[in-house]
Structure 1
Amino acid sequence: MSKPFLRHFEQGVLSSNYDLAKDALNLAVRNSYWTSSRERIMSQFVVYQTEKGSSKSDLGMIIPQVVPMGTITRRAVENTWLTASNAKASRLGSELKAMIQAPPGYCFVGADVDSEELWVASLVGDSVFKIHGGTAIGWMTLEGTKNEGTDLHSKTAKILGISRNDAKVFNYGRIYGAGVKFATSLLKKFNPSLSEEAARKTAIELYAATKGMSEKVSKRKMWFGGSESIVFNRLETIAEQSQPKTPVLGAGITSALQKKNLNSNTFLPSRINWAIQSSGVDYLHLLVISMEYLLKRYKLDARLSITVHDEIRYLAKEEDKYKCAMVLQIANLWTRAMFCHQLGIDEVPQSCAFFSAVDIDHVLRKEVDLDCRTPSNPTAISPGEALSIYDLLAKKEIQELLASVDEDKLLEYAVPQEAKPTELLDKDLIGPNKSLFIKMQIATSQKEFNEHKNIFLRNKRRGTQSLDEYKNTYEKQEILQGSFGDVSFDAIQDMIDGLEMYKETKKTKQAKKTAKVNDEKTETELGSEPAVSNVPEEETKSEINYPLREMTRFKPKHRPMFR
C-alpha cells in the first residue's frame, strides 16, 4: 500500500475483512518510518571518543550534515535530525531523537518558541496600530492558550472538525497566501467524509470571514472586511517592495524573487512565506547571539547543541542547568523585545515574554514527559523537567544569580537612529490618509469601503486635505497622533497669510523688470530668494509629519497648497 493511504488505515477509514490483510497493513504502517529513514540514519557521521590504550569508547557524537542556509528563507536543511518525527507507539524507529543522550554530568537545556510564526505574523499586523493585540489575530495569539483550547489552532480545529495539528497546517497555509482551492483540498484530505461541494463552501465562508474581500486601490490589491485583512495587507506590502527586507534584522530576499525579475507569475505566496519564515530565522539568530553573550557573562558551562527551526537545545553542565535555563528565558525576552521595538511597539506582553517552559532533559525529545515507547524501544524513558519562569525564579540559586547581577547603565549606550524597515511601508501616507488607510481595511461593507476609498484617493491626488478639513479632522481626534505636532492651526494660517503677502510683493517687483529679462532667468531668481513666513523659527524646525518646510520654501510659480 502506498504511503498516502497508510494514514487512512490508521484512522480506521480503510480496513479489511481478512486477518492476513490486516496484518500486512499493520506491518506496512509500523515499518513505514524505518523503511524511509534507515539509509539516512545508518550513514550518519559519528565521532567516538578515544582514550589511550583503547580503540573505541561508548561515548561519541554525531556531527549533523547541516546546510546552514539551505532555502530562500535562510532556514537550515538536514535530512535526518531536522525532519525526525516524534516517537509513535506504532512506528518502528520513531524514537530516533530520544536515542541521543547527554554525556555523564551533562544535560540538555532547551525550549520551543511558542507559536513563533503565528506571533510574527500577528505582530506585523499589530504594528499598524502600534499596540499589541490591535488586530483580531494578535489578540487571540496573546490571550489564547493551547491548554484551554482558546488559541487560533484549537479554535480552527473545532470549527472545521479536524485535529489541532491539521489545523496548524491549514492556518499557516492561509497566512502564507494559499487560496480557496488549496484550502478545499486540505479540508478534504483532513476530513475525507466531506464532499467536494461542502469543502469548497466551508473554505469560501472561512476566507470571507478572515481574509475578507479584495479590491484595487492605487494599482494595489487591498483586503478588507475580514478579521485578518490588516495582517494580509501588511504581509503583502512587505513582500511587494522592490527590495523586500525582514522587519527586524533587515535581511533581503534572493534577487530571483524580487519584483523586477518576475514576470506574470509573481510567486506572492512564496514571498509572503519568506517574510514570516525568514523573520523566524532572525529570531533564532538573535536568540543564539544573546545566549552566547549571557553564557560568557555569567561563566556558565554550556554550549549550543542543535537548533531545529523554532527549537533550541544547549548541552549544559548539571550544576549549571537551572542557570542556563534562566539565561535562556532572559535571551528570549531580549529577542521578543527586539522584535517589538523594530515593529514600532516599545512594549513586550508578559504572556509572550518568556518561554512557557524550559525543558531540562537527559535525552532529545519533543516533550519531557514522553515515554518514547515504540516497537523497537519497549522500555519507557524516564521523564525530565519542564520549568516555567515562575518555577525558575523560586529556586534559591536563581535568586542568588539575579542578586549578584551588576546592572549596566543602559543610558550610557547610544541608541542607533536608523530607519526601521517597517517605516518605509507607510512613507507615502500623509496626515489623515494614515487613518483612512486603516479605515478602508476594517470596513464591514462595500459601501463603507468605497466612502473611505474615495476620500483617500482624492487626498492622494492633491497631496493633502484643505485646511478646514484638516482642522475638523484634528478636532475630532480622528487622525493619528503627531500629524501636526505642536504647531497650532493659527500659526499655520498666519504662515499662509504671510505667503500670500509675499506673492503680492513679488508680483509688484516683477512688473518693474525690463522685457529683456527672459522668463527662465526670472524664475531662477525668484526661486533663489528666501521665503517670508510669520511662523517662528522654532516651530518651522519641529519634527512633525506636516509639510511645513515645503510651505516655508514657497515659490511664486507654485500654486498654493491650500485652497
Structure 2
Amino acid sequence: MLKLFKYGHRCNSLTFLRLTSIERKKIPIVSEDLHDYLFKNVSRSPLDKNRYIIENVEIPELPKLYSEGNILKHFELLGKEMNMTYDNYLLKAFEMNDIPKMPEEWNFDVGWTKYDLINNCPKKVDYPEDDFLIFDVEVCVKDGRLPTLAVALSSNGWYSWCSERLIKNTPVPPYSKINHLIPLESSNGNNKEKVVIGHNISFDRSRVKEQYYDHPSKTAFWDTMSMAIAMYSVSDSQTTFYDKKDYNIAVHSEHSWLEKWKESVTKYNLKDLYNFLVPLDDEKRINIDKVARDLFIEGDIEQIRDEFQYLTNYCANDVLATLHVYQKMYKEFMYRFPSEITRYGMIKMANVYLPINQYWHTFQEHCDNDSKEVTSGLHIKNTYEKDPWMFDCDWSNDKNLHLPKWFLNCFPKVKGKNLDDAEIKLRSNELPKVFGVCYGIYPIHFIKNYGWGYLKPIERNGILPKKLPVFDVYNIPEKEILNVINDNIKKGMSEQEEKNKPVGRVGSFLFYRLPHPTNGAGNVGAIFSKSYQSLFESKILTPTRGTEIANSIINDLIKTMYWVSFRKRFEDELPIWKDDKCDNGVIAPSVVPAGTITRRSTHKLWLTATSAKKDIIGSNLKSLVQAPQGYKIVGADVDSQEQWLAAIMGDSIRKDKYIGDSLFSYLVLMGNKNEGTDLHTVVAKQSGISRNVAKILNYARLYGSGPTHAASVLIKHNIPENQAKELAQKTFEKTKGKLGVYLELNQKYKEFFLPWYKNTKEKSDWESLVFVNNRVFVKISDEVNKKLDRNIVRDEFVKYARTSLTNDIPNSEMENFNLLLNSIYKDCFKNTQYKLFYGGIESDTFNFLNLILDEPELRTPVLKCKLGNGFHPRPKYSVGSLQFLNYFKRSITNWVIQSSAVDFLHMLLLNMEWLCQKYNIDARFCISIHDEVRYLVKDDDVHRAALALNLSNLMVRGAISQALGIYQIPYTTAFFSLVDIDTILRKEVNEVVTRPDQTTVESGVALTYDEVFEKTQGKLSN
C-alpha cells in the first residue's frame, strides 16, 4: 500500500541558507590530487562545481600514509604505531598484582638504591632499569626547588634516591645544574622507551636529569592526576555545589540531582582521589598520612635528615597510593578515552622544554627595580589619612598580590587573573574616591546601607533634626574636607539645592544622600553609570583630581600589577644550567597535560602569561625563552581553530554534508573583514551594534552564553538596559536562530513526507527542517515553553493522504487503507521532543550541539573522548536530570568544542612527530599554548619543519572532516596562514621585545605556505 503515496513534484536538494544579502562566492578548495591523497579510498560524493573552485596550489612531497587514501584510518594506525610500547608498559603497570614488599629500612646513601625482591637487601644502582616505574619526588622547600629524596616502584622491586645535600650536608648550590637531578636512564646514551607514572608527574619530571639533555629522552611520563581531572573532577563553577553540606533537597528541589552527582565526582589531590576510588574494605587499602608533607614544606634539611625513615616511608606510601589509584582508573580511562592518539598527546604535552640564557638572572632584578621605581611615586599612601576621600579606604596589602586592598576592589575577579588585562569595575566604591568626586562644592562619601551621599558642614547654631543617627567614622580629616569645600567655592562651583533631608551625621558634617535617578530618597549604589552621565556633563558631579590621581595611582599601579601577580610564579620555576657561567639553561616546567575538564594543559606561569605590552612590567616574560645558537623556535597558531570546529560540526548535519554549506561555516571560510562579509561585521550590521561588541557576543555565544549574558555585555558598553535586552534578543534570533519544538520523522515515511512538505509549506518551513545524517527533524511548534497538545503537521499530512487519495482507492482496499492511515498517524513521528534552532546563521552548529546532548554518552566527534562526570548529563529521566542540564548546558556545549580542539592538537603533535622522525628533521617539541605550537629546530631544518607543520595541519583537518562525513578541504584552512621562525617565544614575530639590558630583540620571520614551498621546493626530505 505504501506505493500509493506519490507526489507529483520532484523533491529538489536543499538550497543554500539565505539569511542575509551576502552573495555567495565559490569556495576555493585544494586540488583533486590532495583530495585523493586524503580521501581516495573513502566513498564520497563527486565535487560540486557550482559550490567550489579548485585553487592552484603547489603540492608538496607527500609521505605514504599508513592507510592510503583514508586519512582518518591513517591517524588510527599511526597512533597505534607511535604509542604501542608505551601502551604496553601502561598495561603492565595495571596488571601488576604482586606488589613487592616495602623495605623496613631505607638506605641512607647518595643516589639510587635498589631493594632485593626476596629479602629487601639494599644494592647501589646507577638508575632503575625497569620498563615502567611508579615514581614520587620530595623537596625540602626551605632549601629551594631541587630534589631531596625520591622513591620508585616496579614489578622488580623498590628503589630510593637521596640527594648529596641530604646525605653529606653539602651547601645549597647557588645555581642548579644537571648533576643535582635524579637520573632515570643510562649515562651512555643507549636508552630505551619506558613509562614513569606519578600523581602530578610533571612536578617529578622537572627534577629528572635526562629531561634537560640536548636530545629528547624516550621516557614517557604518565599523570594519574590528569586521568582523574578528565574523568572525575569538578569545575570552578561547580565547587560551591560540591562543598555544600547537609543540603536539604526537600527545600531545594531544583538541586535534586546533587547527592547522586556528588557520589560521582571528587577533588583530584591524591588523598581525596584515593578515598574516592579505594573502598574502606579493600585489602590493599593504606592510610595516607599527609602530616609528613608539612615537614618538607616547613622543616629544614636537618629535620628531614633526622626523620629520614619516617619521611621516606611517607614518600613510598604516596607511590603505593598512586599505583592503587592508577589501577583503579585504568580500565575506565581506556573506555572513556579509547584512542592511542589521546594517550600519545597527553604524554607529549607534558614534555615541555624551554631553552633560556643569561637574561633569566637579570629579569627579576630588572622587574623589581622598575616596580619599586613606579610605586615609590605613589606618595598618597603616606598621606591617605588626611585625604578627604580616601581616609577610610583599606590600605592594608593583599597577602598574595601585595597591593592595597582598596585598589584590588577596583577590578572584578582579580584572583587568578592577569591584572594587566583586568577592566576597571566602574561600580567599585573606591573609584569615585580615587578621582575625588564632589557633588556641587561638597565631597562625596559612601556609607554602607545608605549608599553614596555628600558631606555638608553643620552650620553654627544650626538646628539639627531630632534622632539623627551618628555614623562612626574613624579619624575623619575635617580640616581637609573644609579646605576642599572652600577651594571649590573659590573656583566658582555652585552649591546644589538639597533635594533630600540629611540621613545622618559624620563628625562635624551632615550626610545627605545623592538624588536617586528614579527614587529620589533611595540609595545610590554607583555614580559612574549611564544614569548619572548628565550630572557629570552639567558639572554637578565633578572629579577634582582626575589627571593627577589617574596618572599617579591607577596607571602606575597597573604597570606593576602583572609583575606583582607573576613574580612568585617566576621564582617557583627551576632553571637548570648547562655551563658554569649560567649562560645556557633549560626549564622543564610542570605542565599538567590535562589540567581542566576540557583536557587543556595548564601551568600557572607559561600557559597564562600574556604577550609583551609596553609599560607593563614583566609582560615580556615569555620572551625569556630563547633558542640557543644554531637553533630557531618554529611554530604556528591554528587559525580560528574553535570557530572552524563549530562551523564544520554545523555542516555535518546539513543534508548534503558540504563544507561551507551552513552560513556560519561560509562566513568563517570566506568572510572578509575589508569587504564587510566576515561573521562579526555581518552580525553587527544585522543587529545594529558595533563590530567589536558583535565579536564579543559571537565568542560568548559559541561557548553557550544566552541572551541575558549578551544583554549584560551590551549594558557594559553603555547601551541602556531596555535597548540592550532588545538588541540581545535580536542578535540571537539572527545568529543562533529561533527555538522550536521538533520531532524526528520516521524513516519509512521520509520519501513521501518530504515532497508533500516542500510543496505545501512556506519556504521558511522547508528551510527549518533539520537533517542529521539520515535523520530528519520537523518543526511542530514555536511554543517551546508550552506542552505540545497537538501535532498539526502530522494531522495535515494524514488529512492530505486521506482527501487526495481516497478516490483512487478501490472499495476492496479501503479497510487496509484506513489501517495504513492509522499507522501513519501513530508512527509518522517518533515520540521524543527536541528543542532545536532554525532561521539563524549558526542554527546548524547549535543543533549539532543540542542533539549530541541526546546521546547516552557525550563524546568528542573525532577521537571519541567522553565528557567527565562533573558535567556529563545525568541519565535521561533520572531525578533532577533536566535541572542539571539547565545549570550546566553552557559548560557542556563549551566542552564539546574545546575538547575537540584538544583532539586537534593531539593529532597535530602526533603527525608532526612522525614526519620529523621519517625525514630526520631536527625538531623538538617546546610548548603548546592553547591554539599554538612551538618547536626548537636546528637552523638547517627550519624550513622543512615549517613544511611539516603545514602538511600536518592539512592532514589533521582532513581527518576531522572525514570523521564528520565531509570530504572537501577549503584552501583557506588547508595550511597555516603563517608559520613563525624566531629566536624567542612570542605571539607575533614583529612584537617589540626589549631585553633586560635594554637591547631590542630582532624580529623573526613569518612565512606563508607558498613561501615555505619556495624555500623547500616542497621537499620534506634532505
Asked if Structure 1 and Structure 2 have the same fold, meaning a TM-score greater than 0.5 normalized by the shorter chain, the answer is yes
Q: Which amino acid aligns with 1:249?
A: L
1:212 corresponds, among 712, 721, 737, to 737
Deviations 1:428-478 (A, max 9, x none): xxxxxxxxxxxxxxxxxxxxxxxxxxxxxxxxxxxxxxxxxxxxxxxxxxx
**Equivalence for 2:411:** 4
Distance 1:160 1:244 in 2: 37
Deviation, structure 1 residue 32: 1.6
**Equivalence for 1:84:** 609
**Equivalence for 1:463:** none
Deviation, structure 1 residue 19: 1.7
1:303 aligns with 2:830: no
* Residue aligned with 1:72, SS: coil
* Residue aligned with 2:1019, SS: helix
**Equivalence for 2:863:** 249
Deviations 1:1-24 (A, max 9, x none): 3352864599x9998435245212
1:29 aligns with 2:643: no
User: Residues 153 and 81 of structure 1: is their aligned pair in 2 closer, same or farther, counting only changes over 3 Å?
Assistant: farther
Deviation, structure 1 residue 79: 1.2
Q: What is the alpha-carbon root mean square deviation over aligned residues?
A: 2.6
1:387 corresponds, among 1007, 1010, 1019, to 1007
Distance 2:903 2:1010 in 1: 27
Of 235-244 and 152-161, deviating more is 152-161
Q: Which amino acid aligns with 1:41?
A: F
8 A Cα contact 1:95 1:377, kept in partner: no
* Residue aligned with 2:740, SS: strand
User: Residues 392 and 134 of structure 1: is their aligned pair in 2 closer, same or farther, counting only changes over 3 Å?
Assistant: same
1:191-210 pair list within 5 angstroms: 191=717, 193-210=718-735
Distance 2:684 2:577 in 1: 46
Q: What TM-score do you get using the length of structure 1 for normalisation?
A: 0.65
Of 254-263 and 146-155, deviating more is 146-155
User: Residues 22 and 300 of structure 1: is their aligned pair in 2 closer, same or farther, counting only changes over 3 Å?
Assistant: same
Deviation, structure 1 residue 293: 0.4
Distance 2:628 2:676 in 1: 38
* Residue aligned with 2:668, SS: helix
Distance 2:614 2:1000 in 1: 11
User: Residues 383 and 120 of structure 1: is their aligned pair in 2 closer, same or farther, counting only changes over 3 Å?
Assistant: same
Distance 1:102 1:253 in 2: 38
User: Residues 162 and 87 of structure 1: is their aligned pair in 2 closer, same or farther, counting only changes over 3 Å?
Assistant: farther
Of 25-34 and 118-127, deviating more is 25-34
8 A Cα contact 1:101 1:363, kept in partner: yes
Distance 1:28 1:144 in 2: 41
Deviation, structure 1 residue 123: 0.1
Distance 1:148 1:35 in 2: 43
* Residue aligned with 1:306, SS: strand
Q: Which amino acid aligns with 1:173?
A: A
1:110 corresponds, among 624, 635, 639, to 635
**Equivalence for 1:278:** 899
**Equivalence for 1:94:** 619
2:908 corresponds, among 281, 287, 299, to 287
Q: Which amino acid aligns with 1:181?
A: T
8 A Cα contact 1:89 1:373, kept in partner: no
8 A Cα contact 1:242 1:258, kept in partner: no
Distance 2:554 2:732 in 1: 38
- Percent of residue pairs bearing the same amino acid type: 39
Deviation, structure 1 residue 156: 4.8
User: Residues 155 and 313 of structure 1: is their aligned pair in 2 closer, same or farther, counting only changes over 3 Å?
Assistant: farther
Distance 1:230 1:388 in 2: 32
Deviation, structure 1 residue 67: 0.9
Q: What TM-score do you get using the length of structure 2 for normalisation?
A: 0.37
Distance 1:113 1:48 in 2: 33
**Equivalence for 2:849:** 235
* Residue aligned with 1:61, SS: strand
8 A Cα contact 1:29 1:90, kept in partner: no
8 A Cα contact 2:836 2:850, kept in partner: no
Distance 2:676 2:558 in 1: 30
User: Residues 26 and 296 of structure 1: is their aligned pair in 2 closer, same or farther, counting only changes over 3 Å?
Assistant: same
Distance 1:156 1:319 in 2: 46
1:135 corresponds, among 656, 662, 678, to 662
User: Residues 149 and 298 of structure 1: is their aligned pair in 2 closer, same or farther, counting only changes over 3 Å?
Assistant: farther
User: Residues 163 and 36 of structure 1: is their aligned pair in 2 closer, same or farther, counting only changes over 3 Å?
Assistant: farther
1:58 aligns with 2:676: no
Aligned residue-pair number: 393
Deviations 1:361-389 (A, max 9, x none): 00111110111359x78543211000001
Q: Which amino acid aligns with 1:362?
A: T
Deviation, structure 1 residue 161: 5.2
Q: Which amino acid aligns with 2:732?
A: Y
1:172 corresponds, among 699, 704, 721, to 699
User: Residues 171 and 400 of structure 1: is their aligned pair in 2 closer, same or farther, counting only changes over 3 Å?
Assistant: closer
Q: Which amino acid aligns with 1:29?
A: I
**Equivalence for 1:152:** 679
8 A Cα contact 2:683 2:731, kept in partner: no
**Equivalence for 1:265:** 884
Q: Which amino acid aligns with 1:37?
A: F
8 A Cα contact 1:239 1:275, kept in partner: no
Distance 1:179 1:98 in 2: 38
**Equivalence for 1:182:** 709
Deviations 1:502-530 (A, max 9, x none): xxxxxxxxxxxxxxxxxxxxxxxxxxxxx
Distance 2:992 2:684 in 1: 26
**Equivalence for 1:314:** 935
Distance 1:181 1:83 in 2: 29
Deviation, structure 1 residue 168: 4.5
Distance 1:90 1:394 in 2: 39
Distance 2:708 2:702 in 1: 14
Deviation, structure 1 residue 215: 2.3
1:548-563 pair list within 5 angstroms: none
**Equivalence for 2:749:** none
User: Residues 185 and 109 of structure 1: is their aligned pair in 2 closer, same or farther, counting only changes over 3 Å?
Assistant: same
Deviation, structure 1 residue 72: 1.3
User: Residues 257 and 18 of structure 1: is their aligned pair in 2 closer, same or farther, counting only changes over 3 Å?
Assistant: closer
Which is greater in Rg?
2
User: Residues 400 and 36 of structure 1: is their aligned pair in 2 closer, same or farther, counting only changes over 3 Å?
Assistant: closer
**Equivalence for 1:399:** 1017
1:47 aligns with 2:576: yes
